Amino acid sequence: MLLPRMILRNILRQKRRSFFNCFMMTAGFVMISVSMGVSVGSYSTIIELFTRNHTGHIQIHKNGYLIRPSLYNTINHAGSLMSSIETLPYVQSSAPRIYSAVLAFNGNKSVGIRITGIDPDKESQTTRIKQKISKGEFFSNHPGNDVILSDALARNLNLKVNDNIILIGQAADGSIANDIFEVIGIDDGKGAVANSMNCYMHIKTAQNFLCLSGRIHEIAVALTDEGKTRKITKKISQLLNDTTLDIEPWQVVEKLFFKAMETDTQGQRITFLILMIVVGTGILDTVLMTILERTSEFGLLRAIGTRSFDMFKIIIAEIACLSLFSVFLGAIIAFICNYFFMKYGIALNEPFYFGGVYMERMTSKISFPIFFIPALITIATAMLVSFWPAYRAAYMPPVQAIRST
């Protein structure tokens, strides 16, 4: 019990010095933890927006569709595939889709757009398209000649709810697909791909319009845990065992976005490395000065019979106790800060697009690594930088240590 009592007395004897040491280590912990939390949370938000607004976590297409989309490259037995997929763990829902490029007209204005045929019930369970309707209403379960436009498309063609839009394209049977549709809703454009020119219609309406008679182009799968995406992709491939299908995670489907995010992540790692060096330098400075200014005190202890190894243990144990207390205090402060940013976020003065995704605020995310990594850095830095000064002070001849300043 003597050693713990000595350590505690030494720490409390110089309260200002101990406070300054703890302050530096705690501040370093909080800076790294909050920075990591905001970075992880912001990327999680971007991925959530990207996957939940349209892409889904996993997509299934006929072979080669992603490389060269074609009206004729369709999946013919989507119902049985979706029933099988939804039996897997972590699979929340799946939704069938149809795509085609057409010309849209309103008065003298025309523009090339993409129509997307969706199942209202399935799509609502898989993505947030229903919650994104800012004007008008969503589709009913009964198909009709009505469409929902993206905000960019509605502005481009100067269309409002209840206006008519003319669509002309190529049907699967070789005929010209053309009809007049009523605009029943407009999405808010937030969290979507920038300037997307999308026109949504009921999947039955799209199949009739394009003469696809029950065929689809894509199955989007939503998961309850984004981190299981690649694992569930492999399980779906094993379950379906169909070599005519491409089953890909969102990282492959949207590889340009994923590469942009990976590039930005690498830049963030460099920033974190610089931050860690700055924090480590601050900890090194305070710990080093604390040990060096007490060299004469350590020499006096050696002179009255304290063994060198015991002296070394006392110094190291003091730094260990201070760093552990700092980590504990820092974890509490960092948790409060990260929770606040997770709940309320950091509002941006001007929203921006990252990889085509609309961002209005940055948020944090509480996870084990954002506490473990700062704790490891703080404790490891404090122990490493104290080892040599502690060894020097403990094994320096007592007379030389007492005379040192």
Q: What is the residue-wise DSSP string for 15-45?
A: HHHHHHHHHHHHHHHHHHHHHHHHHHHHHHH
**pLDDT averaged over every residue in the chain:** 84
Q: How confident is the model at residue 117 (pLDDT cuts 50, 70, 90)?
A: very high
* 149 pLDDT higher than 50: yes
Residue found by looking up tokens 């199949």 in the block:
207
| Domain boundaries along the sequence of the chain | 2-51+258-403, 64-242
User: Alpha-carbon distance 177 to 180, whole Å?
Assistant: 11
CA 164 to chain centre: 39
Closest CA to 216 of 225, 208, 207, 224: 207
pLDDT over 70 percentage in the chain: 92
User: Which pLDDT score, from 0 to 100, does residue 355 have?
Assistant: 54
Vertex 262: Cα angle to 225 and 194 (nearest 5): 80
pLDDT at 100 over 70: yes
404 has pLDDT over 50: yes
Model confidence at 97: pLDDT above 80 = yes
**What's the rounded Cα separation, in Å, for the pair 97 and 75?**
10
Q: pLDDT class for 194, splitting at 50, 70, 90? A: very low
Residues in the chain: 405
pLDDT confidence of residue 227: 83
282 versus 201: the higher-pLDDT residue is: 201
pLDDT band at 2 (very low <50, low <70, confident <90, very high): low
Q: Output 396 or 375, whichever has higher pLDDT.
A: 375
Is pLDDT at 401 greater than 80 in this prediction?
Answer: no
Confidence of residue 358 (pLDDT cuts 50, 70, 90): low
**Res 203: pLDDT:** 94
